Amino acid sequence: MIIDFSLILKSIPYVLSGLPYTLGISLLSFMVGNVFAIILAFMRMSQKPWLKYPARIYISIMRGVPMLVVLFILYFGLPYVGVQLPALLCAFIGFSCVSAAYMAEIFRSSISAVDKGQWEAAQSLGLPQKPIIHHIILPQALRIAVAPLGNVIIDMVKSSSLAAMITVPDIFQNAKIIGGREYDYMSMYILITFIYWVLSFILELLQGQVEKRLTVY
């Protein structure tokens, strides 16, 4: 048979032992990337050239360079200049930096979508800039950004499989190890396809719940 179901069943525990790495890289990078992305978004919208243009250049580079290339530069390239980072840290830095560029554009468009009258009304009341952003603009922008941010986290979970290329023992790396040992990569690829789909489906359900709550409130 092309697919060995008995091998799939026996391999599930070992493959899933890499799940903490898959979810850890994705979720931690998503959270850190969000913070960085909000900063980048406001820099990108700034009228000051020394803030606006560095943000534009950073976003352009990170959106234009493949994730795998970023990971290879961090893991294989940095040792040439005397910097050796653990594979897990390279994956965390790479995913955080690249995802921040995409999420910065999501936040920028979401902030721009907030009615300008909100800014004008708050300013007419004499509110300082920071409270206007924190208490009026960002809460509304986050509601708009939920759906595209949900797509980003789902994509990050799937893209985390690239971390296996720099030896991070995630579910994809573990599946490759079994596939090489048993000379049956096809069965392992079917298994991780199903696992990634289940993870994505769960995240879709969570995204839907968050959207419903924000619609109510």
**Cα atoms in the Cβ-side hemisphere of radius 13 Å centred on 117:** 1
State the residue for tokens 């994505």. 200
Q: What percentage of residues in the chain have a pLDDT greater than 70?
A: 98
For residue 13, what pLDDT is reported? 95
Region 85-105 average pLDDT: 96
Which residue ranges make up each domain of the chain? 5-216
The hierarchical CATH code for the domain 5-216 is 1.10.3720.10
Q: How many residues can be counted in the chain? A: 217
This model's pTM is above 0.85: yes
Q: Encode 77-136 in three state secondary structure.
A: HHHHHCCCCCHHHHHHHHHHHHHHHHHHHHHHHHHHHCCHHHHHHHHHCCCCHHHHHHHH
For residue 70, what pLDDT is reported? 97
